[in-house]
């Protein structure tokens, strides 16, 4: 896709899985930027020390439910929205060493990740 060609029509033509993937990535980027901003403020407050954060760096696997944002979506609206998913997400440190990035894995956890994180066979496939 060329820059400038992202239109509302294009977004609306995506199937739910694609749309959720894109929405999730945007959500992640926003969250990462927000976290980065907080971290900078924190660092400034603590005089530039990042030692504590480094100790928590590493990859982690998470299950998350997401919003598709479609108007009238039964899963996303109501008093107790059920949302879509859950989907697997892999969080890992960024190459720059600043913050974490998340990768959308989907409903099926690949063998390699499952083994690395010790996820039992019957919990790998969701939904
Ligand atoms: Zn929805």
Contacts of 35 (CB under 8 A, 6+ apart): 99, 100
49 pLDDT higher than 50: no
Q: How far is the CA of 7 from the centre of ligand 1 (A)?
A: 20
**Within this chain, do residues 75 and 34 fall inside the same structural domain, yes or no?**
no
Q: 3-class secondary structure for 31-62?
A: HHHHHHHHHHHHHHHHCCCCHHHHHCCCCEEE
For position 117, what pLDDT does the model report?
A: 86
**Within this chain, do residues 72 and 93 fall inside the same structural domain, yes or no?**
yes
**Within this chain, do residues 64 and 37 fall inside the same structural domain, yes or no?**
no
CA distances from 90 to 42, 62, 87, 95 (A): 25, 6, 10, 15
**Within this chain, do residues 38 and 90 fall inside the same structural domain, yes or no?**
no
**Within this chain, do residues 12 and 29 fall inside the same structural domain, yes or no?**
yes
- pLDDT tier at 50, thresholds 50, 70, 90: very low
**Within this chain, do residues 10 and 71 fall inside the same structural domain, yes or no?**
no
- pLDDT tier at 47, thresholds 50, 70, 90: low
Q: How far is the CA of 85 from the centre of ligand 1 (A)?
A: 10
- pTM confidence score: 0.53
**Within this chain, do residues 42 and 99 fall inside the same structural domain, yes or no?**
no
Contact yes or no for 67/23 (Cβ under 8 A): yes
Q: How far is the CA of 124 from the centre of ligand 1 (A)?
A: 23
Tell me the helices (H) and strands (E) count for the chain, helix number first: 5, 3
Comparing 50-54, 58-62, 96-100, 114-118, which segment has the lowest mean pLDDT? 50-54
pLDDT in tens, 83-127: 998 999 988 888 887 788 889 999 999 998 888 888 899 988 886
Contact yes or no for 125/108 (Cβ under 8 A): yes
Q: How far is the CA of 55 from the centre of ligand 1 (A)?
A: 37
**Within this chain, do residues 42 and 56 fall inside the same structural domain, yes or no?**
no
Contact yes or no for 65/20 (Cβ under 8 A): no
Q: How far is the CA of 78 from the centre of ligand 1 (A)?
A: 11
Number of domains within the chain: 2
**Within this chain, do residues 55 and 40 fall inside the same structural domain, yes or no?**
no
The parent domain of residue 21 ranges over 1-46
Q: How far is the CA of 5 from the centre of ligand 1 (A)?
A: 25
**Within this chain, do residues 65 and 37 fall inside the same structural domain, yes or no?**
no
For position 6, what pLDDT does the model report?
A: 81
**Within this chain, do residues 94 and 116 fall inside the same structural domain, yes or no?**
yes
For position 88, what pLDDT does the model report?
A: 92
Q: How far is the CA of 79 from the centre of ligand 1 (A)?
A: 14
**Within this chain, do residues 59 and 73 fall inside the same structural domain, yes or no?**
yes
């Amino acid at each position: 896709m060329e820059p400038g060609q992202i239109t509302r029509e294009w977004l609306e033509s995506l199937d739910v899985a694609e749309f959720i993937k894109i929405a999730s990535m945007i959500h992640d980027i926003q969250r990462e930027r927000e976290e980065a901003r907080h971290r900078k403020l924190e660092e400034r407050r603590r005089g530039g020390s990042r030692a504590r954060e480094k100790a928590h760096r590493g990859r982690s696997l998470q299950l998350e439910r997401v919003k598709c944002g479609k108007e009238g979506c039964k899963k996303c609206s109501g008093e107790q929205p059920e949302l879509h998913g859950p989907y697997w997400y892999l969080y890992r440190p960024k190459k720059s060493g600043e913050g974490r990035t998340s990768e959308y894995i989907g409903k099926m956890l690949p063998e390699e990740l499952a083994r690395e994180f010790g996820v039992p066979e019957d919990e790998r496939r969701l939904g």
